[in-house]
Amino acid sequence: MINITRKEAREFILKYQNIYNPRQLKSDDEIINFIQKVGCIQYDPLSKIAKNADLVLQSRCKNYSEKTLYRLLYEKRALLDGWDKNMSIWSVNDWPYFSRKRKAFKSRYKSRVAEFKSVKNEIKKKIEKYGYINSKDVSGNKKVNWSWAPTDIGRASLESMYHCGELVIHHKEGTRKFYGFTKNILPKRIINKQDPNAKIDDYHEWYVKRRIGSIGLLWNRSGDSWLGSKLKKGDRSNAIEKLLKKDEIEHVKIDDIDELCYLAKKDIKILDDTKVYNEASMIAPLDNLIWDRRFISRIFNFDYKWEVYTPVKDRKFGYYVLPVIYQEKFIGRCEPIIDRKNNELILMNWWWEKEIKQNSDMTRALIKCFKDFAKFLNIKKISISGNIKNNEFKWIQNCV
């Protein structure tokens, strides 16, 4: 068992997440390797500032732009849109590992084969002709019951073919998905590879390792970090015990936290890195780092809720608020908005965490952070709203 302080736990997680020394990943291969390491990054179509997946990568990649992710998804085909923790983006190499889920969907939709038959035939013919198809390209306006709400039969048919593995997302225009045949998009070596987890216990162990790797350090408590795995507490516990016996993961005891945590044995060496970085970064609302809000609250003493779906009267902070990290601490949260007409980023609100005091090193780090953020957004001007004390943020004028 490894015994560490909460500060050491914070530093370990941020180093593992490539945030402690942020915006350093430079090449496509480094980005692909990062996503392979964490298993997946969460996709969300909402783009108040930028889409979540792009916000995740801008905090880790040097000179990142949305074109980078598009290229890796739809030109290089190194990454894939798929379900893991909700809608996600993961390595194309993980396709065989999800065959169990595709089989489950095939069984689930078996009773609807006759219902969707004629529409699916139309879809296949149009993809054969054009290479890809969108739900608006499918004729008919019949509504059918679907998992999330009654929807058009064309969309339901496309989604059923997608979940079963017959189709993958060819590309997107904004949030609109265009589907193509898997056999025409993914390499045969990927499609033909057998599920590496022949037994259900192997699959459980793989998923537990995947989720520990999504954050770097994790406990065995229910929470959003386990979403998509569908593993019950007993399944997780059994898998953890087997992984411990195989010497693939290690127990970690953190200060005054009663629950044991776990990390991959291969990542222990990160604890030996004692270098300190005076850097700051803005964190995506659905970043892997904060998937498990309760865990992060205990380790970082930082409580965060994404309030986009919270009624205005019940919001504590704002609609689209981003956490801000300096060194190994969350120092505050900000509410930026974009005025595209004037190509301007407006800092609407800023909330400091308790006991955080600005100093010259922190200010320099924040200037660098905002400069990089403005470059990512292709913004030429940053201003402050009347909600913020200007004397605290005079440095903002140096960010563009």
Please determine, for residue 386, whether its predicted confidence score (pLDDT) is greater than 80: no
Lowest model confidence (mean pLDDT) among 76-80, 83-87, 113-117, 251-255: 113-117
CB half-sphere exposure, 317, CA atoms < 13 A: 22
pLDDT (0 to 100) of residue 93: 97
- Specify the DSSP class assigned to residue 141: -
What is the SS3 string spanning 28-82?
HHHHHHHHHHHCEEECCCCCCCCCHHHHHHHCCECCCCHHHHHHHHHCCCCEEEE
Tokens describing residue 232: 């019950």
Question: If you average pLDDT over residues 281-296, what whole number do you get?
Answer: 97
Question: If you average pLDDT over residues 364-380, what whole number do you get?
Answer: 94
pLDDT (0 to 100) of residue 3: 96
CATH 3.30.70 corresponds to the domain 280-398: no
How is the chain split into domains, by residue range?
A: 280-398
Please determine, for residue 390, whether its predicted confidence score (pLDDT) is greater than 70: no
pLDDT (tens digit per residue) in 166-177: 999 999 999 999
Please determine, for residue 378, whether its predicted confidence score (pLDDT) is greater than 80: yes
pLDDT (tens digit per residue) in 183-212: 999 999 999 999 999 999 999 999 999 999
Question: CA-to-CA distance for 258 and 256, rounded, in angstroms?
Answer: 6
Question: CA-to-CA distance for 141 and 123, rounded, in angstroms?
Answer: 14
Dihedral through CA 180, CA 184, CA 185, CA 190, nearest 10? 130
- H/E element, 144: strand 143-144
Average pLDDT score over the chain: 94
Question: CA-to-CA distance for 123 and 129, rounded, in angstroms?
Answer: 10
pLDDT (0 to 100) of residue 322: 97
pLDDT (0 to 100) of residue 194: 95
pLDDT (0 to 100) of residue 145: 83
State phi, psi for 260 to the nearest 5 degrees.
Answer: -75, 145
Question: CA-to-CA distance for 317 and 333, rounded, in angstroms?
Answer: 9
Neighbours of 237 (CB within 10 A): 13
pLDDT (tens digit per residue) in 291-337: 999 999 999 999 999 999 999 999 999 999 999 999 999 999 999 99
Q: For residue 19, which amino acid is it?
A: I
pLDDT (0 to 100) of residue 393: 80
DSSP lists the bridge partners of residue 384 as 347
The DSSP string of 295-347 is HHHHHH------GGGS-GGG-SS-SS-EEEEETTEEEEEEEEEEETTTTEEEE
pLDDT (tens digit per residue) in 335-355: 999 998 889 999 999 999 998
Dihedral through CA 352, CA 356, CA 362, CA 365, nearest 10? -40
pLDDT (tens digit per residue) in 213-245: 999 999 999 999 999 999 999 999 999 999 999
Residues above pLDDT 90, as percent of the chain: 84
Question: CA-to-CA distance for 400 and 396, rounded, in angstroms?
Answer: 8
Residues 178/133, Cβ–Cβ less than 8 Å = yes
